[in-house]
A = this chain, B = another copy of it.
Amino acid sequence: MNPKIAQYLDFIVEIDKIKSIFRKSRLFDRSRFENDAEHSWTISVMAALFREFSPFPVNLERVLLMLLLHDVVEVDAGDTFLYSPERGLAEERERKAAERIFGMLDPEHRDLFRGLWEEFEARETPEAKYAAVFDRLEPIYQNYLNEGSTWETHGVTRRMILTANAHIAEGAPEIWDFVRGLTDDAVEKGFLAP
């Protein structure tokens, strides 16, 4: 048994638990709620596809690694809804989770993966700003296609969406315009409160 391979697989088996962490939004086809692994896959493909909408050059490899790893802390911390008043409390839980989960790896990978997670959370580098766009665009578009099911359940308004996601403007200005247009349309069609 190669001990390094065994250690890496232990980590993979551990983070695989995000397949049982369900988000608040349904799949585009409305059939059921989405889990964190599925969400991470979709937004990674989105980031590759929408690259031309980044206003600055980005290292796509780093963007993809951030998006693939950004939710693994939810194995311990669970999913916290973006518009929940408990969002602030989740930070400390997620920090502890990052410590434990990335701590399963050798120091080199622990620091690399944890660094990518922190970079994504801090949203300061071009890669993190660009990556953050897709973490938010996906659920907004899911809810648009679902005629606002999550928004209605949780009392989310257009104003709340535009406030909580305003950073999209920095990571991809044209996508921000698109999101504003979607929310206008959703209000007009009656499935989003202003």
Contact = CB atoms under 8 A, between A and B. Distances in A.
Contacts of A56: none
A141 B9 contact: yes
Contacts of A141: 9
A156 interface: no
Contact of A41 (B11, B17, B41, B50): B41
Interface in A130-164: 141, 145
Interface residues on A, range: 35 or more
B50 A8 contact: yes
A98 interface: no
Contact of A2 (B34, B64, B174): B174
Interface stretch (A25-33, A85-93, A186-194): A25-33
A42 interface: yes
Interface stretch (A76-84, A117-125, A175-183): A175-183
A11 B1 CA distance: 42
Q: How many copies does the complex hold?
A: 2
Contacts of A145: 13
Nearest to A8: B49
Contact of A15 (B13, B45, B65): B45
A109 interface: yes
Contacts of A38: 19, 35, 37-38, 41
B37 A42 contact: yes
B178 A1 contact: yes
Given A2-B178, A5-B178, A60-B61, A28 B13 contact: yes
Given A5-B174, A20-B31, A38-B38, 18 more contacts: A2-B174, A2-B177, A13-B28, A16-B27, A19-B34, A19-B38, A20-B29, A35-B38, A37-B37, A37-B38, A44-B68, A45-B68, A45-B69, A48-B65, A49-B109, A61-B61, A64-B65, A64-B68
